[in-house]
Chains A and B, each alone.
Chain A
Amino acid sequence: GENVEQHPSTLSVQEGDSAVIKCTYSDSASNYFPWYKQELGKGPQLIIDIRSNVGEKKDQRIAVTLNKTAKHFSLHITETQPEDSAVYFCAAIPSNDYKLSFGAGTTVTVRA
Chain B
Amino acid sequence: DSGVTQTPKHLITATGQRVTLRCSPRSGDLSVYWYQQSLDQGLQFLIQYYNGEERAKGNILERFSAQQFPDLHSELNLSSLELGDSALYFCASSPTSGVSYEQYFGPGTRLTVT
Q: How large, as a class, is the contact surface on chain A? A: 20 to 34
Count how many pairs of residues, one from A and one from B, have CB atoms less than 8 Å apart in the complex.
Answer: 54
In the bound complex, residues from chain A placing their C-beta under 8 Å from that of B43 are 44, 89, 100, 102, 105
B31 to chain A: closest residue by CB? A98
Q: Which of A43, A99, A103, A105 contacts B90 (CB 8 A)?
A: A43
Shortest Cβ distance from A112 into chain B, in angstroms?
Answer: 27
**Are B90 and A100 interface neighbours, CB within 8 A?**
no
**Are B42 and A99 interface neighbours, CB within 8 A?**
no
Considering the chains assembled together, what is the distance between the CA atoms of A42 and B101 in angstroms?
21
**Are B105 and A45 interface neighbours, CB within 8 A?**
yes
Shortest Cβ distance from B69 into chain A, in angstroms?
Answer: 20
Considering the chains assembled together, what is the distance between the CA atoms of A49 and B35 in angstroms?
19
Binary CB contact string for chain A from 91 to 104 against chain B (1 if under 8 A, 0 otherwise): 00100011111111
Q: Which of A99, A100, A102 has the most CB of B within 10 A?
A: A99
Q: Give residues 1-47 of A contacting B (CB, 8 Å).
A: 32, 34, 36, 42-46
